[in-house]
Chains A and B, each alone.
Chain A
Amino acid sequence: MKKLTSLLLAAGLAFASGAFAQSNLLNVSYDVARDVYKDFNPLFQKHWKEKTGETVELRQSHGGSSKQARAVADGLEADVVTMNQATDVDFLAEKGLVAKDYPKKFPDNASPYTSTMVFIVRKGNPKAIKDWNDIAKPGIQLIIPHPKNTGNGRYSYLAAWGYALKQPGGNDKSAQEFVGQLLKNAPLFGSGGRDATTTFMQRKIGDVLVTFESEAELIAKEFGRGEFEVVYPSLSILAEFPVAIVDKVVDKKGTRKVAQAYLEYLWSKEGQENAAANYLRPRDAEVLKKNAAQFPPIKTFTVDEVFGGWSKAAATHFKDGGSFDQIYVQK
């Protein structure tokens, strides 16, 4: 038995190390980014081949953003990370895997594309939901993913908070009250963005779904355009999707050059066009203009401007005992 045990273990290890021994890039990313990189990777491979004559193999890993960041910290050998919120990259910077000043390593705060939180309402907008304060009204049902456990939910929460702050006379207290009102209208919290969408679209629960602008197009793809409308609020949050090189891994694997080129290429015309094709707002003004019909102008604020950065926002609002917990547990 012992022999068999060690044999199997050896086989397992061989399998594992074999899989990792090739020189290639592993891009660890959040869960709905698959289409973005499925289309982007061949573009880069072609570009890299033309430029250097080398063939690069690109591997993808997708999952919940924070879960993915934890996996990288725990030893998942990502050359680059492409996340949906800065907290996750901040965490890796804190652990020494990513440069502390990673937002400065690439243009635009290291976020090659953006999105924003919008409302999905039933066809014809029967409840006349135009802005955040309409959602907070009594009798409205709001569907969002869990504000504490999902990136999507956190953006929605902060967007509502920021909206309340920017109202005349808005302060932290009034914002907390407003968000409390808003969340009172949530009959449930989805386990993720996709789950919230299913609840809204398929199970027909709720009057409004708050989600990423880019998700609206995915919803249309799955459920058709006939059943919902997209509403742009007067003010929303700018969702940035930070990318970074995992220094520790690229130095070990010797892949820094190609990793750098890979991420830089996200800002190329091709990369920006690809983002737009996947309903993410490109940074490139020209590409944005070309796709203007798809991206109506909307006033946004960033997490840095209103909350002083993601780590501060996370500490104030989402850590245990933060503003979210206070809304539910009044002492």
Chain B
Amino acid sequence: MTVRRATAEPRWVRLLLTGVALGFLFLFLVLPLIAVFWEAFAHGAQAYWEALKESEARSAMLLTLTIAAVVLPFNIAFGVAAAWAIAKFEFRGKSLLTTLIDLPFAVSPVVAGLIFIILFGAQGFFGSWLVANEIKIIFALPGMVLATLFVTFPFVARELIPLMQAQGRDEEEAAISLGASGWQMFWRVTLPNIKWGLMYGVILANARAMGEFGAVSVVSGHIRGETNTLPLHVEILYNEYNQIGAFAAATVLAFLGLVTLVAKTVVEWRMRKETEMLTADLPPEKTEQTPTVATERP
């Protein structure tokens, strides 16, 4: 970071702000994290590993990863489609559409699970039809996927809309006028432009998909070794007075969260490198084009 003497804050302000920021993060973020690991290792590393070696813990991890893997492609496709329509075109009702996309954030996770019970439960709207056709949605993988889709619904779209708006239509219009087909334009122009922003949306959605408890809990059925995700497994262990097991499983989720964070760091690093290369390649008067890349850093 270059020092901007004319525009920078006095030294004491910088120190104060840094102190306040780090203090706040320490109190509300770092300390809880330390506490989670503290509990997990309360009886030493061996107890920790024993807890994670349990077959139910492993099947819960597998299920959590499966759900995330199924959910993400759906939300990526939706996010790209929604952002394309909203960011590149003008139409009436845009604010309403954006609000509807935001809405799943405001719905309590328990209610998010409940709405799928109301639809697909045995007493629900489609219940008798599903039972008659032997289709299992609730208390099986599809229901858990649906609930997770719902709670992670806005992330990718919310990430891409402002990015694509900032990029404007010029590049795509140029591609079309040069005779590219719609798909060629998408793969060759749009996707390369948004790939890092997309990645960031996916990372956030992924973290939330793996950590979600409330909604999935309602539709899971809690069958041990079958429909318990890692967060559900954590709750059950805690209720059974298996504190070590519960917190050990929680640290796995924290690690999974951190893995996505590592991915994010790699993404950002490559992004920065790309920006630098672009900036270096372009003659100075053209650098105004690069902000589209610079804005991608979330």
Contact = CB atoms under 8 A, between A and B. Distances in A.
So, do A and B actually touch in the complex, CB under 8 Å? Answer: yes
Interface of A: 1, 4-5, 8-9, 12-13, 15-17, 19-20, 26, 31-32, 34-35, 59-63, 67-68, 71, 73-77, 95, 192-194, 197, 218-219, 221-222
Nearest to A5: B74
A9 B73 CA distance: 12
A62 B136 contact: no
A222 B70 CA distance: 38
Nearest to B226: A19
Tell me whether chain A's interface is mostly helix, strand or loop, or mixed: helix
Interface of B: 70, 73-74, 77, 117, 121-124, 127, 130-131, 134-142, 145, 217-218, 221-227, 236, 238-241, 243
B139 A194 contact: no
A209 to B, nearest CB: 14
Contacts of B135: 13, 17
Contacts, number: 101
Given A1-B77, A194-B238, A19 B124 contact: no
Contact of A60 (B130, B145, B223, B243): B223
B141 A16 contact: yes
Closest 6 CB pairs of A and B: A74-B121, A16-B140, A75-B122, A63-B222, A222-B241, A76-B221
A104 B142 CA distance: 38
Contacts of B141: 12, 15-16
B240 A71 contact: no
A13 B73 CA distance: 17
Given A62-B224, A73-B121, A74-B127, 14 more contacts: A4-B77, A9-B142, A15-B140, A16-B137, A16-B141, A17-B135, A34-B240, A59-B225, A60-B224, A71-B139, A74-B124, A194-B238, A194-B239, A221-B241
B69 to A, nearest CB: 10
Nearest to A74: B121
B224 A20 contact: no
A56 to B, nearest CB: 16
A294 to B, nearest CB: 18
Contact of A61 (B73, B223, B239): B223
30 contacts: A1-B77, A4-B77, A12-B142, A13-B136, A13-B142, A15-B140, A16-B140, A17-B134, A31-B236, A61-B223, A62-B239, A63-B217, A67-B218, A68-B222, A71-B139, A71-B221, A74-B117, A74-B121, A74-B124, A74-B138, A75-B122, A75-B130, A76-B139, A76-B221, A193-B239, A194-B238, A194-B239, A197-B241, A219-B241, A222-B243
B239 A74 contact: no
